[in-house]
Structure 1
Amino acid sequence: MIQFETTRLIMRNFSIDDVNDFYEYMSLECTAQYESFEPFTYDECIASVTRRCERDNVFAVVLKESGKMIGDINFSIEEYDTYELGYDFNPTYCKKGYATEACKAVIDYIFKERSGRRIYAECDDDNFPSIRLLERIGFRREGYFIEDVTFKKDGAGNPIYVNSYSYAMLKREWTSDK
């Protein structure tokens, strides 16, 4: 079991008890807006949380004060000690600094405990909250990709392509006081 803490948060492995909190934000259109999935049904949340319980690269983000799970952060390991970072947060808890605090803790964990060398994240060019978060925690914009990917289709079944930014940070650039 992996668990680490910040001043206000606990990042830990998922538990099946997280299903209701997970459903609270994963069932929302605004959560799925910039993702490859549609809003989750309750059954899809049960299946997803069950899978997440078996993984050590995805963390539930929990408020210390109440035990409420307010989001999740995941990473994937790629070649050359490079990691991709991803996250989803309950919009009810946005604009309180929780995503910043949680991401900084996970970045610290990747660089210090997992010997990561580079972390990157990608986001749609109109996902302003994610852009602001990545820049606030010290990621630098490395690329802009036109009609980079498609996750969804329009009413006629045609793919909707999105433009995206790529952000990254090297271990030597990281200071946790950002």
Structure 2
Amino acid sequence: MIKLETALLVLRNFAQEDWRPLQEMIVQYMSSSYAIYDHPWPTSDEEIQKVCSWFAGEDQYLAVCLKEDGRFIGYVCLNPTDDAGVYNIGYCFNFNEHGKGYAFEACRAMVTHAFHELNAVQIVTGTAVDNHPSCKLLHRLGMNIVLESSGFFYKDEKGNPIEFTGYQFELTREAAFRTDIYAIK
């Protein structure tokens, strides 16, 4: 069980009752312009309940809740890659909570946890070049672009390939510790 606290947030393991706000957030995301680049999420009650149960059985996916009232506002995940000490960070937040600094606070807590508790050597992630808010967040977290790539991964509703151009970001342990962003407070 993992529980991380920040000034405004609690990051905790998922609970089964998180399925409804998770569903709301995923439906929002699937209607966004960024969803075309990702594998489709399930959105039915039954499917989301299964996803929530799976998340609840893992320490890799943490629900992000407001400290003041416990309300679920998103999730952050930290998945190990095939390379020792390298983790992939991911996140999604309810659109009503965008622009409030919650994603930065939650991701910073998760990266701090990775470097200080899991002895991570590197954090990686990727996002669409056109996803300017995500790119801005990753830069703010101290991550750097290490690769730009293009390809065709999915098709639109007419069967036409969707071109994807994305950035690969990374943050090494050494780079993180050269900043005050990840110092233990």
Tell me which moved more, 119-128 or 21-30.
21-30
TM-score, structure 1 normalization: 0.92
Structure 2 residues not aligned, in runs of 5+: none
| Post-superposition offset of 1:80 | 2.6
Please point out which of 64, 84, 87 is paired with 1:83: 87
Alignment-derived partner of residue 162 in structure 1: 164
| Post-superposition offset of 1:176 | 4.9
Alignment-derived partner of residue 73 in structure 1: 76
Aligned partner letter, 1:104? R
Q: Is the 8 A contact 2:9 2:66 kept in 1?
A: yes
The count of aligned residue pairs is: 176
Alignment-derived partner of residue 138 in structure 1: 142
Aligned partner letter, 2:171? M
1:59-96 per-residue CA deviation (whole Å, 9 max, x = no partner) reads 00000011111000112112131111111110100100
Q: Distance in 2 between matches of 1:57 and 1:39?
A: 19
Q: Distance in 2 between matches of 1:40 and 1:51?
A: 15
Tell me which moved more, 118-127 or 159-168.
159-168
Alignment-derived partner of residue 52 in structure 1: 55
SS of residue paired to 1:52: helix
SS of residue paired to 1:22: helix
| Post-superposition offset of 1:42 | 2.3
After TM superposition, the runs of 4+ consecutive aligned structure 1 residues lying more than 4 A away are none
Q: How does 1:10-159 map to 2 (within 5 A)?
A: 10-28=10-28, 29-30=31-32, 32-38=35-41, 40-78=43-81, 79-147=83-151, 150=153, 152-159=154-161
SS of residue paired to 1:27: helix
Tell me which moved more, 116-125 or 42-51.
42-51
CA RMSD, aligned part only? 1.6
| Post-superposition offset of 1:33 | 4.5
Q: Distance in 1 between matches of 2:52 and 2:123?
A: 25
Q: Distance in 2 between matches of 1:43 and 1:34?
A: 24
Q: Is the 8 A contact 2:75 2:91 kept in 1?
A: yes
1:23-74 per-residue CA deviation (whole Å, 9 max, x = no partner) reads 1211121273443214622222111101101111110000001111100011
TM-score, structure 2 normalization: 0.89
Aligned partner letter, 2:96? T
Structure 1 residues not aligned, in runs of 5+: none
Q: Is the 8 A contact 1:32 1:39 kept in 2?
A: no
Q: Distance in 2 between matches of 1:50 and 1:91?
A: 23
